[in-house]
Structure 1
Amino acid sequence: MTLTGETTDSRPGRTRPAFARTPVLLIAGVAGALLLVASRNYGFSFDEAYFVVAGRDHPAWGYFDQPPLVPFVAAGLDHLFPGSLMALRLPATLAAVGGIVLSALIARELGGRRVAQTVAAAAYAMSGATLICHYLATYSIDPFFWSLILWLVVRWTRVRDDRLLFAAGLVTAVSLQTKFLVPALWVALAVASLVFGPRDLVRRPLLWAGALVATLTTVPTLVWQAANGWPYTRMSEVVAAEFPGTGPFLLELLSGPGLVIGVPLALFGFGRLLAARDLRPYRFLGVAFLLLIVAYLLTSGRSYYVYSLYAPLFAAGAVGLQDVKWPAAAKALGWVLVAASILQALVALPIYPKSWAERIPDVPLVPLTAKVFVQSDGQLGQLSDAVVKVYAALPPEQRARTAIMTDSYAFAADLQLFGAERGLPNVYSAHRGYFYFGHPDESVDSVLFVGDASPPVAGAFARHQEIVPQLMTVFSGRTVAWDALWPRLRTQ
């Protein structure tokens, strides 16, 4: 499994080109450096704050909305490097760098020479799969695991070394600690391989040995899910409720790879996996990807799920371009498109001072820009300033019996992360995953509620005082026991 040198393929007449070490690692290094710079800006995202609080204050084998890996990693890094966004986001940065290299390695397995490997790596570096690695999140880490699994499967298809399938099972085990989505990949691969070959993929004992490892390592989080009524199934309802519709979904699907180069390259690669003669042994990949995209659409999934498929799509497209004899005009146009793609990526990366980023104009069909990151990331911490003032203004006797509650897990994580050192007590919310973190003690008979209080909240207290309309209200004189009230407050 070396990365350099010529290796004869198991099929006559094909060799594996040398790994394009210099250009690929240069692209990966530049992308990683830019992400490190971007990681310092512009503050925690809502999800990152939630991950830190969940892993630090409520460690568990599972959560409402994900397995335990990302909260554990977030809490560990925040403990080692308190408040450091660069450290917190380092795993996502490394995932992006790994995805770039894997795109080139998949192109190499498909017969891609130096240029094809470089194009595949560059396309991944300028795609949404790299841009989202500005954040530490399940959706920024998981594309790397999928890309690694797909590289192992592609390599197995060529060399038939079953140890690769076992390794893919081990990677699947880690992916299952990040998101529960990867079984869909294996189902699609199994169905496609049984129809289009290689039909012996599902008959390899080491594949099932790897699957057993993945299953066993997932048992603790499955036990947690079962003990708590399978809350992750409710998350699918949340995702479906946020589905934008078929048209917007497809538009988001096309904007993710990068409009200038990424979209045509990914579509070309998709078509080649389905129909190109030189990629016939890998046709099952194209069919599997088609099954996955249809499944995401039918189940009202999120468009960024497809980010996990970019590496092989870019690789297949790049390999198809390497032997084309381009006229001079086409080459010139190609360099213009490359420059435009780089510009698009630089507009999106949050690497600028806040004052500069705020002046970036809105760009049609480009959903994420540095301006968007400023608007979203810069909000955390501001809310805690206002809540600290209101809470401190309460009479001391009442303050001792008052908890802070919010209508959103995002507000709760914000206040817990930024307010604890400023005198705020533990924060509670019945929204999504925060519901499972529990309710206040029975000694608490009033709450400072942040957000828009629901009727069950208002109805459980005898008195209320609105401090900031539709944002902060003090409820006092609780009339219902917390154990009875808490299930009524759950929202998602």
Structure 2
Amino acid sequence: MLTAGSVGYGYHRDELYYRMLPPAWGYVDQPPLTPFVARLTTQVSDTVWALRVPATLAAMAAVVVVALLARELGADRSRQTLAAGAYACATLPLMLGHLLLTSTLDLFFLPLLILLSLKAIRSPRWWVATGLVAGLTTYNRWLVAVVGVAAVLGLAVLGPRRVFASVWLWAGGLLALVVALPNLVYQATHDWPQIRMGQALAEDAGEVRVTVLILLVAGVGPLFPLLWRGVVTLAREPRTRYLVVVTVAVYAFTFVAGAQPHYVVVALVVWLTAGVITTSSPRRLWRVAAITGAVSAVLALPVIPVSVVGATPVTKVSSLMPDQVGWPTYVGQVARAYRAAVAADPGAPPPVIITANYGEAGAIDRFGPAHGLPRAYSGHNGLYDVARPSGPARSALLVGDLGPRQLALFAQCRQVGTLDNGVDVDNEEQDQPIRLCTGLRRSWELSWPAFAHLD
């Protein structure tokens, strides 16, 4: 269902960004795994459905992990099935499982890490597998470091402390460090870009904190009452008490740091699973899960036609949906402005195209060749270091929300178009200007730093 629904709207802005990032050990805003997976899918088919096959597989694997986690928590087969079904119907997993984002792979990696740590407490040799997965997870997101530190703290404070006497725990920790080392070396040799990115994200911390609170309820919909039951269940069992510290720490870190709100998915997964398996009315829960699934499908999948979705509350409730609408249309509008600029001054070098953000640059990279457009440049996040303008061109087509600092680099700027998706979906691009700027005052090398921004 997730892959089949890929064609209803279109690429998410992050997906367009990932598919155009060149191979690297890391980027200023994230580790390399998700961009690598995105590029790999283009070798099969450079289409949105192919790019989302790994997302579907990750979501499916996450459902299996939830069933295994329920079993590790003592659930019988029927309640394992109930836990997996309730999780599969929850809003946040369905939203993230529909797209290839870093948080999509988190749906699988982080709950798997929790599952393996639980198994390791019962059978210490599992610490090696836990360390291996922890090391691999750093290539998707460094949030795993928060999970690891919180787990050590939880075990030290709430037990079982006997795990620290096992050589397997230290072997697993060493293995995690060895596997993560190339990723760590990249961070150290590039001035710790993830810290700088975190500081940039913290500028919007207030908005993120509101979203995190909303996700606590909206992330699982009507299943929300089970979350507190899950926390209580974990706290009652000596073997699982440390997970209260882990999950609360992840939630607190997300809230305090103002990080990406999707980080809380690991807490919601564990709380929901623990809550489901202790329910006293499984039949009623199946009905609630079915209702949740129906609502989640409307919010996460292209159930509502794109021609009318802009008139519904879905675009306000689902923060991920609007960013899947309008990209081919926007690129067509940029192409018309570009052709007009070239035709107006055929003897001059054609203008370079510079976009305000990586979604716009990624859209031109994907759909621009069909319109004869050159590559687009952007100073947003990782694209600043990927490529920059050069050569004799003294004019630029500026696309999107670029401000006075960038416009001041040119002698003259005038608006030659407006981005309009044509379906009244309010996203970051809607109603943004397309400007033709001429008379670059300094060289591109000296001008380019003014376009750099992290967010």
Q: Which residue of 2 aligns with 1:117?
A: 80
Q: Which residue of 1 aligns with 2:298?
A: 347
- Asked whether the equivalents of residues 397 and 436 of structure 2 are also in contact (C-alpha less than 8 Å), the reply is yes
Deviates more, 1:223-232 or 1:45-54: 223-232
Cα deviation, residue 443, structure 1: 2.5
| Residues 1:102 and 2:102 aligned together | no
Give the count of matched residue pairs.
437
Q: Which residue of 2 aligns with 1:368?
A: 318
Q: Which residue of 2 aligns with 1:53?
A: 20
Give identity over the alignment, percent. Answer: 30
Q: Distance in 2 between matches of 1:363 and 1:478?
A: 43
Say which structure, 1 or 2, has more relative contact order (CA 8 Å, 6+ apart): 2
Q: Which residue of 2 aligns with 1:409?
A: 358
Cα deviation, residue 176, structure 1: 0.8
Contiguous gaps of at least 5 residues in structure 2: 419-431
Q: Distance in 1 between matches of 2:335 and 2:311?
A: 33
| Residues 1:387 and 2:334 aligned together | yes
Q: Distance in 1 between matches of 2:36 and 2:257?
A: 29
Q: Which residue of 2 aligns with 1:358?
A: 309
Is the partner of 1:35 in helix, strand or coil?
coil
Is the partner of 2:327 in helix, strand or coil?
coil
Q: Distance in 2 between matches of 1:376 and 1:458?
A: 26
Q: Which residue of 2 aligns with 1:271?
A: 232
Give deviations 1:448-475, integer Å, cap 9, x for gaps: 1112433332222223333137612222
Q: Which residue of 2 aligns with 1:35?
A: 2
Give deviations 1:320-352, integer Å, cap 9, x for gaps: 22xx4x5xxxx7754543442232223234153
Q: Distance in 1 between matches of 2:99 and 2:23?
A: 21
The correspondence of residues 155-166 of structure 1 with structure 2, limited to 5 A, is 155-158=119-122, 160-162=123-125, 164-166=126-128
Q: Distance in 1 between matches of 2:347 and 2:245?
A: 63
| Residues 1:216 and 2:174 aligned together | no
Bigger Rg, structure 1 or 2: 1
Is the partner of 1:463 in helix, strand or coil?
strand
Give deviations 1:435-457, integer Å, cap 9, x for gaps: 12131113232211112433332
Q: Distance in 1 between matches of 2:70 and 2:412?
A: 66
Is the partner of 1:485 in helix, strand or coil?
helix
Q: Which residue of 2 aligns with 1:301?
A: 259
Match of 2:98 among 134, 138, 141: 134
- Asked whether the equivalents of residues 8 and 306 of structure 2 are also in contact (C-alpha less than 8 Å), the reply is no
Cα deviation, residue 50, structure 1: 0.4
Give deviations 1:46-85, integer Å, cap 9, x for gaps: 000000011xxx22211121111111111111122122x2
- Asked whether the equivalents of residues 160 and 238 of structure 2 are also in contact (C-alpha less than 8 Å), the reply is no
Give deviations 1:236-293, integer Å, cap 9, x for gaps: 133222332655532222211x2212x122221111111x2xx222111112222222
Q: Distance in 2 between matches of 1:333 and 1:143?
A: 26
Q: CA distance change for structure 1 residues 150 and 434 in 2, over 3 Å: closer, same or farther?
A: same
Q: Which residue of 2 aligns with 1:27?
A: none
Q: CA distance change for structure 1 residues 70 and 363 in 2, over 3 Å: closer, same or farther?
A: closer
RMSD over equivalenced CA pairs, Å:
2.5
Q: Distance in 1 between matches of 2:40 and 2:188?
A: 26
Q: CA distance change for structure 1 residues 368 and 401 in 2, over 3 Å: closer, same or farther?
A: closer
Is the partner of 2:277 in helix, strand or coil?
helix
The amino acid across from 2:231 in the alignment is F
Cα deviation, residue 199, structure 1: 1.4
Is the partner of 1:320 in helix, strand or coil?
coil
The amino acid across from 2:19 in the alignment is V
Deviates more, 1:224-233 or 1:72-81: 224-233
Give deviations 1:398-429, integer Å, cap 9, x for gaps: 56342100111211111121102321111111
Q: CA distance change for structure 1 residues 405 and 124 in 2, over 3 Å: closer, same or farther?
A: same
Q: CA distance change for structure 1 residues 403 and 361 in 2, over 3 Å: closer, same or farther?
A: closer
The correspondence of residues 59-458 of structure 1 with structure 2, limited to 5 A, is 59-83=23-47, 85-127=48-90, 128-158=92-122, 160-162=123-125, 164-243=126-205, 244=207, 246-256=209-219, 258-261=220-223, 263-274=224-235, 276=236, 279-321=237-279, 324=280, 334=285, 336-352=287-303, 354=305, 358=309, 361-362=312-313, 367-368=317-318, 373=321, 375-393=322-340, 394-395=342-343, 397=346, 400-458=349-407
Q: Distance in 2 between matches of 1:108 and 1:423?
A: 56
Q: Which residue of 2 aligns with 1:19?
A: none
Q: CA distance change for structure 1 residues 143 and 245 in 2, over 3 Å: closer, same or farther?
A: closer
Is the partner of 1:105 in helix, strand or coil?
helix
The amino acid across from 2:133 in the alignment is V
Q: TM-score of the superposition, structure 1-length normalised?
A: 0.82
Cα deviation, residue 171, structure 1: 1.1
Q: Distance in 1 between matches of 2:291 and 2:269?
A: 21
Q: Which residue of 1 aligns with 2:435?
A: 473
Give deviations 1:203-256, integer Å, cap 9, x for gaps: 433333333333334333344434443332232133222332655532222211
Cα deviation, residue 117, structure 1: 0.7
- Asked whether the equivalents of residues 449 and 472 of structure 1 are also in contact (C-alpha less than 8 Å), the reply is yes
Q: Distance in 1 between matches of 2:415 and 2:311?
A: 38
Q: TM-score of the superposition, structure 2-length normalised?
A: 0.88
Contiguous gaps of at least 5 residues in structure 1: 1-33
Give deviations 1:91-120, integer Å, cap 9, x for gaps: 111111111111111111121112221221
